[in-house]
Structure 1
């Protein structure tokens, strides 16, 4: 299983009135991790979009464990939890600077045509990418 790691320094604008990271910002950080994973495997999400294919989130499961605060560095671990040639499920763990688990999450995605939102078979459109996912998944 291939796990990508990305670091994010918590910015003041990402915190709420309680001084902790606002919950929705973790979704943005998950996208950072997912994009880095795709790049580490040798591909480009932007390149896929240039071909008229997008990959919307169809399901999200997130559990908040520990807070992160302004000035701390969050470490995002991202991997392919499940993949079947059509749907991809990414796994995430976001850690505090002391190594404690702050967030555990999964997001499910399918590829669709940008103009119609009709699903496409990822493995047929992007066979090299498909092969890389098969090798990298859990």
Structure 2
């Protein structure tokens, strides 16, 4: 299993008139978390796209548990429970500065070949850096 954490500050532009994070901002926080997770593996989204591999979203599920507010420091926990193949399911948990779970969700991405416009398997370079996180303790 791969778990990565990053933090983000709630900016004024993320909130409504009451200073509460607008519900449509959470998918952007998910994207920040997964972008930083991929970067922590030594690969960037740009490198993946430069290789003509795209990662469109197939589905998005979001659960709103508590509110976040202007100027909160949030921790975005990005969780990959299984080694991706064609589908790339990514869970996200967001915690406030009191370490309370305020939001959770899952995005399922699909590896997509930009030249053929068809789904494809995870690129070998990406697979190679992810595989060590999914080896069993018996290996």
TM-score, normalisation: structure 1? 0.89
1:91 aligns to what? 91
What is the CA RMSD across the aligned residues, in angstroms?
1.7
2:52 aligns to what? 52
5 Å-filtered alignment, 1:1-138, equals: 1-114=1-114, 116-122=116-122, 126-137=123-134
Tell whether the 8 Å contact from 1:75 to 1:97 is kept in structure 2 after alignment. yes
Deviation at 1:51, TM superposition (A): 1.6
Q: Which runs of 5+ in 2 are unaligned?
A: none
Deviation at 1:113, TM superposition (A): 2.3
Distance 2:126 2:114 in 1: 19
Tell whether the 8 Å contact from 1:37 to 1:79 is kept in structure 2 after alignment. no
**Superposed CA offset, 1:55-109 (max 9, x none):** 0010111101111000111110002133341111011100011000011111001
Residues 5 and 57 of structure 1, relative CA distance in 2, 3 Å threshold: same
Moved beyond 3 Å, runs of 4+:
none
Distance 1:60 1:73 in 2: 24
TM-score, normalisation: structure 2? 0.88
Deviation at 1:17, TM superposition (A): 2.4
Distance 2:118 2:112 in 1: 5
Corresponding residue pairs, total: 135
